Every structure is written in C-alpha cells, then in structure tokens.
Amino acid sequence: MAVRNPVDQRRWTDTARTPGDRADVLLAALSLEEKVAQLGSVWDGFAVETTGEVAPMQDVFAAGSRPLAEAVRHGIGHLTRLFGTRPVTAEQGRARVVELQRRVVASSRFGIPAIVHEECLTGFTTLGATVYPTALAWAATFNPALVARMAGAIAADMRAVGVQQGLSPVLDVVRDYRWGRVEETLGEDPYLVATLGAAYVRGLEDEGVVATLKHFAGYSASRGARNHAPVPMGPRELREIILPPFEAAVRLGGARSVMNSYAEIDGVPAGADPALLTGVLRDEWGFEGVVVSDYWSVPFLQTMHRVAASPAEAGALALAAGIDVELPDTIGYGAGLVEAVRAGRVPEDLVDRAARRVLRQKAELGLLDPDWTPEHSVAAGAGIDLDAPANRQIARELAESSIVLLANDAGVLPLDLGTGRRRIAVVGPCADDPQAFMGCYSYPNHVLGDFPEYGVGLDVDSLWTALRAELPGHDLILEPGCPVRDDDRFGFPAAVAAAEAADVCIAVVGDRAGLFGRGTSGEGCDVPDLALPGVQTELLGKLLRTGTPVIVVVVSGRPYALGAFTAAAAMVQAFMPGEEGGAALAGVLSGRINPSGRLPVQIPRLPGGAPGTYLQPPLGANSEGVSNLDPTPLFGFGHGRSYTTYAYDDLTVSSPEFPTDGTLTVSVRVRNTGARAGAEVVQLYLHDVQAEVTRPLRQLAGFARMPLAAGAAARVEFTLHADRTAFVGRDLRRVVDPGDLEIHVGGSVTDLPCSATVRLTGQRRVVGPDRVLHTPVAVEPT
C-alpha cells in the first residue's frame, strides 16, 4: 500500500479538526484530475460479471466501462456494488473490499480511499443476507420504531463488511398504483412516508452508514405510471405532496446523501435542475451532504432527455445543477469534464464545490483518519452471519405487524381448528413460492434469478410449507391453479376440484417481483390496469362459485382491484412480507397472530379508471351528477380489521380556537372491547374547511400504534402545532391560514367516529424551513 503523501498530511488527517477543514486542506493539494476523480465511481467487473439487468439500459453503458486500473488512476469517489453484482459470500465480499481499497489507495497520490455503496431497501442486497419485508409492508405496520430497528440491523451488517453507504430509503409518494415501484415506497400519504422514512434514515445513520434519499423528486408521479415517463405536475403539488418526506428525512433523520430522480418535471430533468438540487435541497433546507446520481442518469441527459450534446456536456449540466458524484460508473464526470474545465467551458469552482463535499463526507466516515487501512475498514474474524437470529426476529415482527385483514364478514377467520380434522385446499400461484414474499430489490429476485444454482440463498418457507407446520392435524392439499402472469388455465380443473372437496379454500394470488418486465411488480414492471396479473381473476371466480368458503390472500407489491371478489369469506393483504412472511401469514390465518396491519395505500374496487389516492379535494371524490365514474375504493387508507374490536369516545380539544403560531392538544379514549389482546393504529386527520386553494377532504396529521389488552383502555393525546395545518398557496409559499379546521380521529380514513371543529385565529403566517414537521403523540393507560 502506498504511503500517504506527506504534504499537509498532519492537517487533513487530524481528527481534532472539523471534517470541513480537513476537506479544504486536502482539496487545495489536489490537481484538477484528482479532484474530478473524486466525483466519479467504478463498477469493477460489471461488464463481464453481470448476466441479468440490475439497472436500466445497463447493456448500453457496460460497453464503455473502464478497467479498474484506468478508472482509479487519479483516485475515485465510489466503488459500486461489490456485493450486489454477482453472488459472493460475506467473507469473499469482505476480502474483495479490502483488495479494491488497497488498489484505490495505492493509485491515489494522497492515498484517499473510496466510499463503498450498496442497495439495502429490503435488507443488505447480498447473498445470504436477511430479506426483510418490502417498504410498502413496513408502511403497513405504522411503526417507526420497528423500522428504525430494522435499518440499524441492516447498517450493522453492511458496515461489518466495509460498506459505508446504503442506497435507501425510497421516499417517493405513491400517485398511481399501476407504477411498478409501488412496492418500494412507503405508501400514498406524505406524513406516513416522512415519519417512517426519517426513522429508517436514523437507523442507518446512527450505525455510521450514509443513508441515501431517493428519488429526488417526482419520480412516482410519471404520466401513465410508466417508469421514467415525464411527470405532469405543477410546482405547488410538488411541494405539497412529493417534497415533504425528503425534507423530513434531511431535517429529522439526518440523511447525508440524496439521489436524483430519472424523471423530468414540466420538461426539466431532475438531474439538470439547479432549482431542485441546489435551490430547494441546499438553500431552503440546509442540506450539507452529497448528491449522487441515480445509475447512469448523467449520460441519460444526453441519450434519453436529449438536453446535452455529449457525455461531457451532460456532466457539466449535472454538476452545475448540484450532482456531486456520478454513479455507477464514470461517463460524464471523466476526461471530458477535465477538458471542459481547462477550456473554460465549466468553472473549476463547480468541481471544487462537489469535491469538497465528497472529501468532507469521507472525513466524517473516518476514511481520512491517520490510522485508517483497508483491513480496518471491515470487521475482523471469520463467520459473519448476515441472517442472524436477531435479524430474523426483526423480520418476523415486521411481517406479523404488516399483514392487513381486509374483510372477515363471514367470521371464517381465524380458522376454526377445534372441531376435528379439517380439509383445507391451498390454491393459487403464490401459495408455494417463497419468492412471492420478496421485493424486486431483494437479492433472490434482484440477482439470483440469473444464478439458479444458488436457489433462494436462504432458509425461507412458502405459505404452503408454513401452513403445514402451523396446522399439523389437518388435511391440506396444494394446487397452484395457474402461473402468476402467463395465460395458462391448465391447472384450473384440479384447483376447482380441490376447493369443492375442502371445508375451506385458501386462495393465494398476487405478484412475483422482478426487474424491467421480468416480473409483475418492481422497477420497470408497470401495468395498464389494476386487475390481478394473468388469469388469476378467472381462477378466483371459479373458486368462489364452488360454494366452499374462500379466503383470498393477496401477496403483492401494489394494491389490486378486489371488487369482483366481495363474495369471499375473508380477504387478507400482504405486501411482500419477506423471509418470515410464510409463518406470519400462517399465524394470522390460524389465529396465533392477531392481525394489526393497516393499509398505506387504498384497495381499489374496479381495475380500470384507476382511482387517485385518498388525498383528494371534493371534486376528486365521487361526484354524483358530475361523472358516472365512482373512484370510491373498496378499502380506504388506514383500513385494517382485527380479531378483536375497538371503540373510540370522549374526544377533547384543549381549546375551541388556537393561534396560527400555537398548538392544540387533541385527546381521545380508545378501548379494546373484544376478548383478546391486539394493537390498534389511532389516526388523526384534518380538513381545512376553506382555503385559497382546494384542500383534501381528509389528510393524515398524526398516528399512534398501541397495544391494548382485552378490556383495556388508553387515552391518546396528539400535540398539534399550527404548522401542521400549513399548505402551499398560490404564490408557492407555505402558509398557515386562520379559519375553521375539522379534526377527525379513528381507525382509518373511512372510520372516524370522533370529530370536532376548532378555529385558527390571528394573522395569516408564512412558515419557513424551521416549521414543525411532526405531531408528537402520548399514550396513557386509563
């Protein structure tokens, strides 16, 4: 390993100095080529080691990938996906990190290491690591503390093998359920996304791993729900719906990195928009971290958006906008950028601005410390367990808390197992497929599809195997009926016969996640409507006509229209609950687990004319006499039933009015009126009765997930600051207006038994970046 250059080394390796000071000293010593190198990345072996698609249009850009020795000749900013490209064990990956860091340090005149980044949305994306539920399933838990625990466990595993940055969480707010990446999101409400997203960020950052917020911004609102399609959204809606989760993750979560969106908004690509990447993110919110590009989004400015004539020009646009590091490889931030600076076409100050941010972050991570070595960047010892029992316990808790009981009107659930041996038909394409529980960024679905010799890479039960363990004294028969998406009805007769012969039929339908059209959910797997994939709707229709009670279990990455199946005895929704999903679902069906998940997205009634999300002004709801299309969902936001019952009463507010810069206390009593313990999610909604712009009929302003024993009661108290009523006005400023405010509390947006109206008083107030973003809540047993 090369000895670090002695020029001012004592100053830039001095841990008593601030990271910014150290970065300034080192930056002053670097040549232009060395500074530009810090803005680049390299995906070593990508062109020869990757057989399937793990990023958009990778085959086009792989041809231009540089050999490692050339890429790191002047140093490098990031090393890309050393674990998530092809299968490697933890020990092999750790050794590769050490090897490549040695080469990076040896090639750099100042011995500057690289930041190693990896995907981590449903867990560390590598062979044998825990596969947690998808983000949409975390959202169904309404449990930020549990999400933070999961993120901390993920970060600890990554840090142990030398990974310093995780490319998560996804903070895109769902706007159209047909979009393929709904499974990666935290749902359709900005406050829920912000609260859980900030919790995930804190979990990563508290363990010393840089969290990366993505995709900034507007990506989820693409026209026609098509991946990368233009975003037809005005600036007011962008600030009202899309931006708040990112702001919360920066201000409350402490995120140190942001990734740009591929999308364009009103004709301006996010990756070339200084108003967004610098004006909003840095000037308004005070973000001081590093902006990284989404994979190949810099050359996309030339090849896809066509706002640049060459890779170097694309790099200049991205750099000026505020992208500091180009991922996953260096195309726009290479030799062409150096030449453009020397020719005076790009100010060197822009290079210095980005390089200083990168170097400061490396100092924060300890990479510039005097005692740092490649060997010390990974945990010592053998036998790293990336799927340890403690990880699986967190995965189990998340899975169990995320399952939503949609309907149980016939009372068929929990299964009546005390009346002798029962015949149970388990039918459907997702019944015996453990990968149905995993998202598109889980390692088994993201990478191992191209390496079948590894199988799933983990010990994972399907629902079928979990049910056999859960119900040992009963007769179970399995019939898949049909594939997930192929037009194949060959298995229909056997499935129908099994249902007819059974006392109850469990029909397990839904998705298989994949990438770029290789699945029914996931990146690049968008759909034209919200009908179940393939011929699954036909299969369910035939099963419902057998006369046998049918329990419909939907395992999916998006909400599907279920209005045609209201004759089902019960409906259960699981949003890809991860490696512990089989046991969790089996436990809910048997009654061992009392379901407590709540919908982070609505369940549509009809597959066509896709309804908007619940955040609708009056004309966005059903308008009789105006339109013949009724967008009312089958199950609304926040909905979820239980094997016990809850009652709400005694709503109180601390005052009938409060000032536009004041606070209000909202309190309600909640009782468990059933015979067994459960967990209720108490939800607070607001409605601004009259404003200068149209406002949602209901908007989530606070929530509390709380366990309650049978017969127990608790008082839930929300402290609502007037800032939480703010909206973006016509002049694009966020304001609190005086006037009437409706308050609603209950178990979902469609079940709000407690209401009150209060009045905001005083002057109209403009709120800035220091506004209150969170609604504190306290729970006291009574």
> Which residues does the annotation mark as catalytic?
228, 294
Beta bridge partners of 739: 760
- Dihedral angle over CA of 512, 514, 519, 521, nearest 10: 70
DSSP annotation of 693 reads: S
Residues in the chain: 782
Between strands 754-761 and 657-659, the pairing is parallel
Secondary structure of 226-260 in HEC code, one letter for each residue = CCCCCECCCHHHHHHHHCHHHHHHHHCCCCCEEEE
- For residues 588 and 541, is the Cβ–Cβ distance under 8 A? no
**To which H or E segment does residue 34 belong?**
helix 32-37
**Which residues are within 8 A (CB) of 372 and not within 5 positions of it... i.e. 6 or more apart?**
113, 366
**Which residues are within 8 A (CB) of 524 and not within 5 positions of it... i.e. 6 or more apart?**
56, 180, 227, 515, 516, 517
- For residues 182 and 134, is the Cβ–Cβ distance under 8 A? no
Token pair recorded at residue 506: 């469990």
Residue 363 φ then ψ, to 5° = -65, -40
**3-class secondary-structure state, position 1:** coil
Query: 260 vs 69, 298, 318, 708, CA distance in Å?
Result: 28, 10, 10, 42
Token pair recorded at residue 73: 């000749």
Name the amino acid, one letter, at 532. L
The string of DSSP codes covering 102-143 is HHHHHHSTT-PPPEEEE--BTB--STT---PPPHHHHHHHT-
- For residues 313 and 302, is the Cβ–Cβ distance under 8 A? yes
- For residues 113 and 556, is the Cβ–Cβ distance under 8 A? no
Residue 202 φ then ψ, to 5° = -60, -40
Beta strand residue intervals within 374-526, DSSP E: 404-407, 423-427, 475-479, 504-510
The string of DSSP codes covering 5-59 is P-TTHHHHT-TTS-HHHHHHHHHHH--HHHHHHTT-EE-TTHHHH--S-SSTTHH
> Using CA atoms, how far apart are residues 495 and 479, in angstroms rounded to an integer?
5
Give me the residue label for tokens 């000032």.
659
Peptide bond into 217 cis (omega under 30): yes
- For residues 374 and 108, is the Cβ–Cβ distance under 8 A? no
Beta bridge partners of 721: 663
- The closest alpha carbon to 81, from 124, 123, 40, belongs to 124
Give me the residue label for tokens 């309600």.
668
> Using CA atoms, how far apart are residues 426 and 538, in angstroms rounded to an integer?
17
Beta strand residue intervals within 587-629, DSSP E: none
The 3-state DSSP composition of the chain as helix, strand, coil percent (nearest 5) reads 30, 20, 50
